[in-house]
Amino acid sequence: MPAGFAAGGLGAGIKRSGKPDLAIVRATNGPAAVAAVFTPNAFAAAPVRLSRAHLAATDPAGGGGHGWAEAIVSTSGCANAATGPAGDADQRRVADLLAAALGVPVERTLLLSTGIIGTRLPLDRVEAGIAALAPGLSTTDEALESAARALMTTDSQVKMATASIALPDPDGLAVRTVTVTGIAKGVGMIHPRMATMLAIVLTDAAVEPSVLHRMLRSATARTWDQLSVDGDTSTNDTVFVLASGASGSAGVAAGSGPARLLGSAIEAVARELARQQAADGEGATTLLTCQVTGAVDDPTARAVARAVVSSSLVKAAVHGRDPNWGRIAGAAGNAQLADASVLEAGGLDPDVAAARAGVPAAVDPDRIRIAIAGTLVFDGAVDGPVDFDRSAVRAAMDAPEVIVRLDLGSGDGTGEAFGCDLSETYVIENSEYTT
Amino acid sequence: MPAGFAAGGLGAGIKRSGKPDLAIVRATNGPAAVAAVFTPNAFAAAPVRLSRAHLAATDPAGGGGHGWAEAIVSTSGCANAATGPAGDADQRRVADLLAAALGVPVERTLLLSTGIIGTRLPLDRVEAGIAALAPGLSTTDEALESAARALMTTDSQVKMATASIALPDPDGLAVRTVTVTGIAKGVGMIHPRMATMLAIVLTDAAVEPSVLHRMLRSATARTWDQLSVDGDTSTNDTVFVLASGASGSAGVAAGSGPARLLGSAIEAVARELARQQAADGEGATTLLTCQVTGAVDDPTARAVARAVVSSSLVKAAVHGRDPNWGRIAGAAGNAQLADASVLEAGGLDPDVAAARAGVPAAVDPDRIRIAIAGTLVFDGAVDGPVDFDRSAVRAAMDAPEVIVRLDLGSGDGTGEAFGCDLSETYVIENSEYTT
């Protein structure tokens, strides 16, 4: 747990199962700098809209993407999406309850929610839960894990990741250890478009919201935007990064060496959480990672990697441990570059990003090489299909992670994407009851 | 069977099962005008590349999209995709065999193939098959059905559709009946992007290739571009429309009344084939149709409809006959407008199409209304969720076609899309063996 935060989670009865469903994270060092990325879904949920409004109130220049906050509350089991004006009123009530319980201004609260779309929050239970949880928030790692557990819906595993870096103190005479720790949930309705499901990343670095926001968007372009479980983008996707400044390190200026270090740590945490989310995808039996090299540039590599892990046919083949490289080639051949906003976040100039958004990725069948679980199966430069030991590759695919590598043979661009296999269990889980 | 064509199909042994796998369609009235739409996949198969080259040779102005042809041969069971230069040579050999057997110039042949990616065509069997089939082509409906049967791979049903219109004869003194008949196959690796799997549409109208091509692209934008089974775009997608002129009707001029009639007939046949393909999607138990009204324009309506039928979560819910409107709202909220080429084919000016390609569709949650199988379940204008009889809707969804209607409440734009449910069978079929 980074310095300057306390957390906790409990079961408030929002979920019928009685499992943990209410989490609170509090900044204990005064308002924390916040950067956020939200779902682009037109049906953005009430907590998404209210969080945007609160951030905009604390930092008008941030347009709802960054600002200051002192507390986050997450309710799990009910998405509070597509609930109309009544749902918005419910969410404002949750914010008021949190603000009153912690003694903070309501515009410095942030809201997360996940679960069934179209149902109302049980406000009486949320009220009782906040009253019970708020006094007992703790700075321990266990408390953060308890909060992470209360984010979960169909997740089978708690998702946490951490990284540490050394940054100078304000005098420049000593270094301080800065910690970046994230918690997240998956695991359905996940697709790469700006953000994916819920994640909270905490750091005790000292950094301005706008600088933090650039770091988050850059990290997201390389991690959460490259994660797909099932091709659907949720109404509630939210990632918050909060920086408390409590490490005692100097303020991190944009473009500085410390900024690069902190940005890398945030990206490392985001990447690890994205991998955990993919591995725990609904019905998944294996993590599917696609690593692309030799692309004309990084956005092209990321587009190809994303297309491969998003393909239903590739995912089904991986489920059957079938080294079906034809489907991988077919998926790579359909890759299209990301949205302009994602391309811009990934480092392209706005004009270039606008011109290249959604265009087909440059893939030359006569240059591409494909390897599955370490074995070359296709080499476009030498007639295509490669003779390989199918049963050995099948055996190598029977692992917790299946890595597909593509060398496009056309440049220095690299990228990766994270997904999972498609199983009968996914279909059963998602057809048998309303989620 | 429209006048001016003969056809046939048989089992040549390309498929191990011995099922029909070789089809020939011949124009008997001299070269037929041809319009084509091919997959945009970078791994376009050898038959796609050779067909494009042949069309370009017969009509340089068409750039491979339209021209003249006298015969089509289709091989099923082997896609001849990602097979390198050897695969290209194999495909040229198939064209030479067809040209020799029918006594037509090789550049007036068109090639189709579908099946496993990355395997070579068994040329000896194809040669024997063409020799056996070519002499016995017939103008009967049964012969066309036999050809349609030989297109199939994992299809469970033969797919055919027909429409008739009356067009004036060259003197303008009498009308001639013009027939438009199509055959097609599905049923996996299907996703809306320019074309979908294999289809051959025949008409005895007299029309120039370039005029025919505009009709085909317009029809495709409203039909095959709106069809999704599993989100994957094949390496072999091809649609050919051939016009023999043998009806004796006058030449159909661009922009004329007869052109509108013929275009509508082609679109009607394409729509019916797309519906048959969706209904027979791999593992599908029901056709899923989404009809959108009240959009700001038609491209927006089509984008929303396509997003709904493409959503894995919506498809799984439909499989479970679960009126899960929250997932429908979520999918609609993620809709993005189509590629520029599809928008242009659908009627937008090139500049407008380029500017709007891929942008989020205009969806206002406060105006949208959603009905499932005839029952209103969500009304954004009056607080959102509507109380409805869940068990009655579940019962109504237990049908060969489930219709989801969305009224966006924002204009006069309409559109529809065709898909199917997602079942365990889809996963099993696609994970248990290489296809």
- Is a pLDDT exceeding 70 seen at residue B192? no
- Is a pLDDT exceeding 80 seen at residue A8? yes
Buried b / exposed e over B200-227, threshold 16 CB at 10 Å, is: bbbbbbbbbbbbbbbbbbbbbbbbbbbb
Note whether A385 contacts B332, CB cutoff 8 Å: no
- Is a pLDDT exceeding 60 seen at residue B195? no
Quote the CA–CA distance of B343 and A57 in Å, as a whole number.
Answer: 39
What is residue A229's predicted lDDT score, i.e. its pLDDT? 75
Quote the CA–CA distance of A267 and A247 in Å, as a whole number.
Answer: 19
Listing DSSP states for A68-124 in one string gives EESEEEEEEEE---S-HHHHHHHHHHHHHHHHHHHT--GGGEEEEEEEETT----HH
- Is a pLDDT exceeding 90 seen at residue B13? yes
DSSP conformational letter for A400: S
Note whether B365 contacts A428, CB cutoff 8 Å: no
- Residues 230-259 on B with a CB inside 8 Å of A are 230-235
Residues from chain A that touch B230, judged by Cβ atoms under 8 A, are: 312-313
Residue B428, SS3 per DSSP = helix
Q: Which residue has the tokens 């095959």?
A: B224
- Residues 282-341 on A with a CB inside 8 Å of B are 310-313, 316-317, 319-320, 322, 324-327, 329-334, 339
Q: What percent of chain B has pLDDT over 70?
A: 98
What is residue A433's predicted lDDT score, i.e. its pLDDT? 61
Mean pLDDT for B266-275 is: 90
Quote the CA–CA distance of B185 and A203 in Å, as a whole number.
Answer: 55
Q: What percent of chain A has pLDDT over 90?
A: 67
- Is a pLDDT exceeding 90 seen at residue A398? yes
What distance in Å separates residue B50's CA from the closest CA in chain A?
A: 16
Q: What percent of chain B has pLDDT over 90?
A: 67
Quote the CA–CA distance of B19 and B77 in Å, as a whole number.
Answer: 10
- Is a pLDDT exceeding 60 seen at residue A193? no
Burial class from Cβ neighbours inside 10 Å (0-12, 13-18, 19+) for residue A411 reads middle
Mean confidence (pLDDT) of chain B: 91
Q: Which residue has the tokens 């091509």?
A: B213
- Is a pLDDT exceeding 80 seen at residue A11? yes
pLDDT tens column, A214-264: 898 888 888 888 887 777 777 888 888 999 999 999 999 999 999 999 999
Out of B230, B358, B380, closest to residue A313 by CB: B230
Q: Give the active site residue among B196, B286, B300, B375.
A: B196
DSSP conformational letter for A312: H
What is residue A414's predicted lDDT score, i.e. its pLDDT? 94
pLDDT tens column, B150-168: 999 888 899 999 999 999 9
From A425-434, B285-294, B382-391, the region with the lowest mean pLDDT:
A425-434
In 10 A of CB B3, how many CB atoms? 20
Mean pLDDT for B194-202 is: 75
What distance in Å separates residue A69's CA from the closest CA in chain B?
A: 28
- Residues 121-180 on A with a CB inside 8 Å of B are none
- Is a pLDDT exceeding 80 seen at residue A160? yes
Note whether B332 contacts A42, CB cutoff 8 Å: yes
Mean confidence (pLDDT) of chain A: 91
What is residue B186's predicted lDDT score, i.e. its pLDDT? 83
Out of A42, A378, A428, closest to residue B424 by CB: A428
Quote the CA–CA distance of B111 and B124 in Å, as a whole number.
Answer: 17
Using CA coordinates, name the residue in chain A closest to B79.
A326
- Is a pLDDT exceeding 80 seen at residue A190? no
Out of B317, B365, B378, closest to residue A42 by CB: B365
What is residue A384's predicted lDDT score, i.e. its pLDDT? 83
- Is a pLDDT exceeding 80 seen at residue B234? no
Note whether B383 contacts A84, CB cutoff 8 Å: yes
Out of B43, B334, B422, closest to residue A365 by CB: B43
What is residue B202's predicted lDDT score, i.e. its pLDDT? 92
Mean pLDDT for A333-346 is: 86
Quote the CA–CA distance of A261 and A256 in Å, as a whole number.
Answer: 9
pLDDT tens column, B126-141: 999 999 999 999 999 9
Residues from chain B that touch A334, judged by Cβ atoms under 8 A, are: 40-42, 193, 232-233
Quote the CA–CA distance of A221 and A239 in Å, as a whole number.
Answer: 13
Quote the CA–CA distance of A65 and A81 in Å, as a whole number.
Answer: 20
Using CA coordinates, name the residue in chain B closest to A85.
B383
Quote the CA–CA distance of A224 and A220 in Å, as a whole number.
Answer: 5
pLDDT tens column, A43-82: 899 999 999 999 999 999 999 999 999 999 999 999 999 8
Beta bridge partners of B9: B23
B119 is known as an active-site residue: no
Bond prior to A187 in cis (omega within 30° of 0): yes
Note whether B434 contacts A326, CB cutoff 8 Å: yes
ipTM over cut 0.90: no
For A43, the token pair is 């049906």
What is residue B363's predicted lDDT score, i.e. its pLDDT? 94
Out of B316, B360, B383, closest to residue A42 by CB: B360
From A106-110, A321-325, A404-408, B352-356, the region with the lowest mean pLDDT:
B352-356
Residues from chain A that touch B231, judged by Cβ atoms under 8 A, are: 231, 310-312
- Residues 341-360 on A with a CB inside 8 Å of B are 357-358, 360
Out of A313, A330, A333, closest to residue B430 by CB: A313
Out of A81, A230, A339, closest to residue B326 by CB: A81
Work out the pLDDT band at B340, boundaries 50, 70, 90: confident
Quote the CA–CA distance of A372 and A366 in Å, as a whole number.
Answer: 18
Residues from chain B that touch A325, judged by Cβ atoms under 8 A, are: 82, 118
Residues from chain A that touch B434, judged by Cβ atoms under 8 A, are: 317, 322, 324, 326
Using CA coordinates, name the residue in chain A closest to B304.
A42
What is residue B227's predicted lDDT score, i.e. its pLDDT? 81
Mean pLDDT for B293-299 is: 95
What is residue B228's predicted lDDT score, i.e. its pLDDT? 78
DSSP conformational letter for A379: E
Helix (H) or strand (E) holding B385: strand B384-385
Residues 6 or more apart in contact with residue B308 via CB below 8 angstroms: B290, B314, B328, B331, B332, B335, B404, B406, B417
Tell me the angle at which helices B325-333 and B298-310 cross, rounded to the nearest 10 degrees.
Answer: 130
Closest CA to B293 of B418, B417, B412: B412
- Is a pLDDT exceeding 80 seen at residue B218? yes
**CB–CB contacts below 8 A, A to B:** 230
Burial class from Cβ neighbours inside 10 Å (0-12, 13-18, 19+) for residue A416 reads buried
What is residue A150's predicted lDDT score, i.e. its pLDDT? 96
Work out the pLDDT band at B353, boundaries 50, 70, 90: confident
Tell me the angle at which helices B424-431 and A424-431 cross, rounded to the nearest 10 degrees.
Answer: 170
- Is a pLDDT exceeding 80 seen at residue B230? no
Closest CA to B249 of B179, B173, B175, B181: B175
From A316-325, B13-22, B181-190, B398-407, the region with the lowest mean pLDDT:
B181-190
Residue A269, SS3 per DSSP = helix
What distance in Å separates residue B187's CA from the closest CA in chain A?
A: 12
What is residue A339's predicted lDDT score, i.e. its pLDDT? 81
Residues 6 or more apart in contact with residue B97 via CB below 8 angstroms: B126, B127, B130, B131
Residue of B232, B310, B397 to mutate, interface with A, max A Cβ within 10 Å: B232
Residues 6 or more apart in contact with residue A266 via CB below 8 angstroms: A180, A201, A203, A215, A216, A219, A241
pLDDT tens column, A123-148: 999 999 999 999 999 999 999 999 99
Phi, psi of A250 (to 5 degrees): -70, 160
- Is a pLDDT exceeding 90 seen at residue B100? yes
Using CA coordinates, name the residue in chain A closest to B326.
A117
Beta bridge partners of B336: B360
Tell me whether A423 touches chain B (CB under 8 Å).
Answer: yes
Q: Give the active site residue among A196, A223, A233, A300.
A: A196
Work out the pLDDT band at A196, boundaries 50, 70, 90: low
Its pTM stands at: 0.84
Note whether A317 contacts B430, CB cutoff 8 Å: yes
